[in-house]
Amino acid sequence: MQISKKVLFYAVFTVFCLIIALWGLSQTSATGTPETTTTPPTDQASQTESTTSTEPPLPPEPKKICITGDNNLGTYTQDLHKGLKPYTYVMEDLEACDLLIGNLETNLSAPNTGAPQPGKSYTFKAPLEALQWMSEVGVDAVSLANNHSMDFGSTALVEQMQLLDDAGIVHFGGGKNMDEALQPRYIEFEGIKIALISMNDIENWFTAATSSSAGTATFDQARIIASLRAARESADYVIVYPHWGEENTTVVNSRQRSWARLFIDNGADLVVGSGPHVRQESEVYNGKQIFYSLGNFAVCGFYFVPEGSTGTMLQLKVENAQISAIEATEIKISFLGLPKLATKELTVPLYPNDEFKAAP
């Protein structure tokens, strides 16, 4: 049978198309068709955890309570002190304190308030700008139980307490009568309720409060024990800040030692002394620390007194609502009466006419 040319053409064309189709399938099989893969959503938190260190976070830095010695801001009244701020050299260090306490050993009232007490050898009144000096470095509380807060009489002391109240600075050891002067003052700090009690044993015939007149607390044993026991019941930590001892002597006398033990036996956790204007020894009694005298801090006039230009600042570390450690930091005091940390170089220039004693 004879096949027509037309039929033969279509047969050849069909075979050719089949060959082309089979070749295409073989190529697809060899190279593979890309698959569409669905990736499950990634948990961002777990991805962060996998790329972040598994080290536990560092504990927070302990908070600090700083306690300084004598601050007689009434000694910065000479021509040399014009424009001077007593805390200039130590400002950064005090600002780093989370709670700052000191002994304010001067009267602080308006220039025309009161008059110098007759018969008193040395009387001091700080200028009103001293309130700004203290506020700038964050002073939180001051003891008034010393032999100079009453230098200009009871009216000036009452004004001083009001000025401190207005400035938000807690004061203790002075009052409108003896009961108020010996009343504990409380500060809540980092989960700790702290009680502050202070009393004066130097020139107290000029300074003592009575049942009806303003002044400072005295060493009245029955009242002090009652105050300590009340503080012990209400507070977590009791600090007693007595003003005592003999001026310019580094030797602790038997009266100081006896009273320090009485304070601790009746509830004190820490005894911090001032008054001698020089540092005295420290000791531990029944597990509690006693610093008999921190010496000077911000006061002019003791540069040439042996040991008078050296003091101590305490730093109490607070962790987990507890006092975890107490460190004593040495302070050096300049010719003009400005403190600095002994181990720290100044970060500001010296005032004109000022200097520190050379290291021995």
**Residue 140 sits in a domain of what CATH number?**
3.60.21.10
Residue 172: give the domain boundaries: 63-341
Check residue 279 and report its DSSP letter.
Answer: B
The dihedral formed by the CA atoms of 138, 193, 242 and 326, expressed in degrees to the nearest 10: -70
Of 254, 264, 328, residue with least CA distance to 295:
328
| Tokens representing residue 113 in the block | 């308030």
Edge-to-edge strands, sheet with 270-272: 185-189, 192-200, 237-243, 270-272, 288-291, 282-285
The dihedral formed by the CA atoms of 251, 254, 258 and 259, expressed in degrees to the nearest 10: -60
What is the spatial distance between Cα 113 and Cα 161, in angstroms, rounded to a whole number?
13
Residue 298 lies in a domain: yes
User: 331: which strand partners?
Assistant: 311, 341
CB 284 within 8 A of CB 296: no
Of 254, 263, 257, 252, residue with least CA distance to 217:
263
What is the spatial distance between Cα 146 and Cα 90, in angstroms, rounded to a whole number?
24
| Helix, strand, or coil (residue 320) | coil
| Tokens representing residue 69 in the block | 């010695």
Of 238, 222, 235, 221, residue with least CA distance to 288:
238
Residue 6 lies in a domain: no
pLDDT at 52: 52
Residue 92 lies in a domain: yes
Residue 351 lies in a domain: no
What is the full per-residue pLDDT of the chain (360 aa) written as tens digits?
444 544 444 444 455 445 554 455 454 444 444 444 444 444 444 444 444 557 777 777 899 999 999 999 999 998 889 999 999 999 999 999 999 999 999 999 999 999 999 999 999 999 999 999 999 999 999 999 999 999 999 999 999 999 999 999 999 999 999 999 999 999 999 999 999 999 999 999 999 999 999 999 999 999 999 999 999 999 999 999 999 999 999 999 999 999 999 999 999 999 999 999 999 999 999 999 999 999 999 999 999 999 999 999 999 999 999 999 999 999 999 999 999 999 999 999 999 999 999 877
Residue 281 lies in a domain: yes
Check residue 197 and report its DSSP letter.
Answer: E
pLDDT at 40: 45
Strands 192-200 and 322-333: unpaired
Residue 95 lies in a domain: yes
Structural domain count of the chain = 1
pLDDT at 355: 96
pLDDT at 197: 98
Residue 299 lies in a domain: yes
Residue 40 lies in a domain: no
What is the spatial distance between Cα 350 and Cα 331, in angstroms, rounded to a whole number?
16
Of 336, 351, 332, residue with least CA distance to 300:
336
pLDDT at 41: 46
